[in-house]
Structure 1
Amino acid sequence: MGFTGQCRCGQVAIDIEAQQLPPLYACHCLNCQRWSGSAFGLHLLCGAAAVRVTGEVVTYMHEHQGQTSTQSLCGVCHTRLFNETTAAPGMRVVRAGVLDGAQAWVPVAHIWTRRRQPWVVLPQGVAQWEETPTAEAFGKALFG
């Protein structure tokens, strides 16, 4: 089973090889709001080896709270596709909106809710943290 998607212009394709959809979460931090131009970012946490990319990407690196994040974007239309961070070695954080079928997926967790827009209502019973959760708590919410 796999999940596929592409950037806005179609020059870069993503294929995630997984038996089931990797866990989807919403991040309401100011960086995700600015990157997405929206109220939050929707992300899939995937093993880096499971994410295949075809096409030319460019990268942008930045430091935040002592971690380095490397953002990968389409070299043509600049759609942000995924990032890798020193906070989660061996993982890729894929932008859910670039994947086919994303409209049917529901986040299993919300982080940085302290920054959420006041009109966003979070569902009861879904894991949520005001800021960045511990790796253990986040992993338990995402992977059970």
Structure 2
Amino acid sequence: MSLELLAKCQCGLLSVNLPGPSSSVVACHCHDCQRRSGSPFGVLAYYADESVKITGEATRYERATATGGTFETFFCPTCGSTVYARAGRHPALIGIAVGAICDPTYPAPVRSVWEERKHDWVVIPEPVQHFPRGRS
């Protein structure tokens, strides 16, 4: 049985083949991730860049981070779904939008960052590491 997973946009034109679940899943409550995801927080699963296979074309958006770095979001130019992202401070990693995987058994976050901007009703349970801002 293969553990391979597929993350894809709404229309299916942009997808990423993944080797299986990641052990590095991060929930981010910063304002940019709220706007990027259209929800109270974004959740990305991080993989070594060489372990994934991207199929299809993506539109890239780069923004500055609160800590002085850069963050790139890649989304489908047809349907607009965010599928993956790259943080400038971790160039060898790619973050895959967990929502694009559509697997309710996918592992929960191990870290929750920018909790000072977390919506009051959102509860991220223990044993997750909690950070008021980004992890240093």
Q: Does 1:114 align with 2:78?
A: no
Q: For the Cα contact (< 8 Å) 2:13–2:56, is it kept in 1?
A: yes
Q: Where does structure 2 lack aligned partners over 5 or more consecutive residues?
A: none
Q: Match of 1:140?
A: none
* The one of 97, 100, 103 aligned to 2:99: 97
The one-letter amino acid paired with 2:84 is: F
Are 1:13 and 2:15 an aligned pair? yes
| % same residue | 27
**What is the aligned length?**
132
Equivalent position SS for 2:10: coil
Runs of 4+ in 1 over 4 A off after TM superposition: none
Distance of 1:96 and 1:35 partners within structure 2: 13
The answer on whether the counterparts of 1:3 and 1:100 sit within 8 Å (CA) in structure 2 is no
- Report how far residue 125 of structure 1 moved: 2.7
| Counterparts in 2 of 1:91 and 1:120: CA distance versus 1, 3 Å | same
In the alignment, the residues of structure 1 paired with residue 72 and residue 121 of structure 2 have an alpha-carbon distance, to the nearest angstrom, of 31
RMSD: 1.5
Q: What TM-score do you get using the length of structure 2 for normalisation?
A: 0.89
- Farther off after superposition, 119-128 or 46-55: 119-128
CA contact (8 A) 1:111 1:128 kept: yes
Deviation larger for 119-128 or 76-85: 119-128
Deviations 1:73-115 (CA, angstroms, capped at 9, x unpaired): 11211111111121112111111100141x2231122111111
TM-score of the two chains, using structure 1 as the length reference: 0.84
